[in-house]
């Protein structure tokens, strides 16, 4: 996929255009009017739904024109369908009062192919820079994966772009998507190789940690360290952070990472370690650093050793407070 490739026309920021000359399902697919009640969200949907003005505009457009581009679903074994492409359209259609939605039914997809539909649809609709960190991680991860051949990726990408009106009906271009190497992904998305590596790693975070990352409550560098913990270890840490409201910094997270690597982490161990760190931070908060101006320093302490400076300040303060009648210093 060319990251800066031309995009489709958009009505009211989100609604795709649909005409009889595009959006037609490929051979073997079914295009039906499907009850919204029978469609379940993708089981591991990594993207946030539209909200605010973007959602309001989409709902209003659907009320006015209907859903012009069908969603893409795959059948489940219980008579329901799983959404692959169109979570926002379905949400807006439901809010607009619709009970059914046009849908293309995909049969026989592998798990990797189904996930690729979910990921690539969002990349086409929104620029990579618009995505939240966990969403960027999902995109990088699927493009880095070797589970889908380059040719199959091109086929899906071509189909989705035809459906959304990004390109004319032509043969799929060769080598459209970034190859699955960190260097090529970094170049394709204008990222550093380090950032690509970090995004690949945070894809291993528990959903709650991803939400904290996306909301700005958890820095990226801390998230990367947490992602090295096992699922159980992450859950134990999450339980502790929720109960004690202790802030986790990069140093603490890195220490947990190393303890996990050495096989020495338990739930009790995490709690003991974090409480000890918190007590140490509390002790450090009892002391404050104070800056003085360069002019002040040059006037009184130029070329004076550190120990001598502390001695002078201590002596001066003792004399000051002994001669002052400041409330609370013991003088009457």
Task: Inform me whether the pLDDT recorded for 23 exceeds 50.
Answer: no
Per-residue pLDDT tens digits for 57-90: 999 999 988 888 899 999 998 889 999 988 999 9
Q: Which CATH number fits domain 30-198: 3.90.1530.10, 3.90.480.20, 3.40.950.10, 3.50.50.60?
A: 3.90.1530.10
| pLDDT score for 325 | 55
Mean pLDDT of 119-133: 81
Cα–Cα–Cα angle for 307, 309, 313, nearest 5°?
A: 120
Percent of the chain with pLDDT over 90: 23
CA atoms within 13 A on the CB side of 17: 13
Instruction: Outline where DSSP puts E strands in 70-158.
Output: 71-75, 81-85, 100-105
> How far is Cα 272 from Cα 265, in angstroms, rounded to an integer?
11
> How far is Cα 104 from Cα 298, in angstroms, rounded to an integer?
77
Distance between alpha carbon 95 and the CA centroid of its chain, in Å? Answer: 26
Question: Which of 48-62, 82-96, 122-136, 192-206 shows the lowest mean pLDDT across its residues?
Answer: 122-136
Question: Which of 138-142, 222-226, 326-330 shows the lowest mean pLDDT across its residues?
Answer: 326-330
Stated pTM of the model: 0.60
Contacts of 211 (CB under 8 A, 6+ apart): 134
Closest CA to 73 of 94, 87, 93: 87
DSSP-derived 3-state class of residue 294: helix
| pLDDT score for 14 | 29
Closest CA to 226 of 251, 244, 191: 251
Confidence band (pLDDT; 50, 70, 90) for 281? low
| pLDDT score for 288 | 59
Closest CA to 72 of 3, 124, 141, 128: 124
Question: Which of 105-119, 143-157, 231-245 shows the lowest mean pLDDT across its residues?
Answer: 143-157
| pLDDT score for 54 | 87
Per-residue pLDDT tens digits for 147-200: 455 666 566 666 666 666 554 444 333 334 445 577 888 887 888 888 888 888
Task: Inform me whether the pLDDT recorded for 316 exceeds 90.
Answer: no
Q: Which residues pair with 33 in a beta bridge?
A: 102
> How far is Cα 103 from Cα 45, in angstroms, rounded to an integer?
18
Task: Inform me whether the pLDDT recorded for 127 exceeds 80.
Answer: no
Per-residue exposure over 30-56, b if at least 16 CB sit within 10 Å of its own CB, e if not: eebebebeebeebeebbbeebeeeebe
Tokens of 166: 């990004």
Task: Inform me whether the pLDDT recorded for 245 exceeds 80.
Answer: no
Task: Inform me whether the pLDDT recorded for 12 exceeds 80.
Answer: no
The domain spans of the chain are: 30-198, 205-284, 294-323
Tokens of 136: 């960027």
Backbone φ and ψ for 85, nearest 5 degrees, come out as: -135, 115
């Amino acid at each position: 996929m060319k990251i800066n490739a031309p995009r489709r026309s958009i009505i009211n920021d989100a609604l795709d255009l649909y005409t009889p000359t595009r959006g037609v399902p490929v051979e073997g697919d079914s295009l039906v009017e499907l009850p919204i009640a029978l469609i379940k969200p993708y089981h591991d949907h990594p993207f946030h739904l539209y909200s605010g003005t973007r959602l309001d505009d989409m709902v209003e457009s659907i009320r006015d024109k209907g859903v012009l581009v069908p969603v893409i679903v795959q059948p489940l074994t219980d008579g329901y369908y799983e959404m692959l492409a169109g979570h926002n359209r379905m949400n807006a259609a439901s809010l607009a009062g619709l009970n059914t939605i046009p849908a293309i039914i995909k049969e026989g997809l592998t798990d990797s192919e189904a996930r690729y539909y979910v990921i690539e649809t969002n990349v086409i609709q929104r620029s990579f820079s618009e995505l939240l960190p966990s969403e960027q991680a999902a995109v990088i991860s699927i493009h880095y994966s070797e589970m889908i051949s380059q040719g199959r990726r091109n086929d899906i990408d071509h189909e989705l772009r035809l459906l959304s009106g990004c390109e004319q009906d032509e043969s799929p271009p060769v080598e459209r998507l970034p190859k699955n190497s960190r260097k090529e992904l970094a170049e394709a998305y204008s990222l550093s190789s380090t950032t690509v590596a970090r995004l690949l790693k945070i894809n291993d975070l528990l959903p709650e940690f991803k939400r904290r990352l996306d909301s700005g409550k958890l820095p990226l560098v801390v998230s990367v360290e947490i992602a090295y913990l096992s699922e159980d270890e992450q859950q134990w840490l999450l339980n502790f952070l929720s109960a004690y409201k202790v802030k986790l910094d990069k140093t603490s997270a890195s220490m947990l990472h190393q303890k996990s690597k050495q096989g020495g982490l338990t739930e009790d161990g995490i709690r003991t370690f974090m409480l000890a760190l918190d007590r140490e931070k509390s002790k450090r908060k009892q002391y404050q650093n104070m800056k003085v101006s360069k002019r002040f320093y040059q006037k009184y302490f130029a070329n004076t050793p550190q120990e001598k400076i502390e001695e002078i300040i201590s002596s001066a303060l003792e004399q000051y407070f002994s001669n002052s009648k400041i409330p609370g210093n013991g003088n009457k």
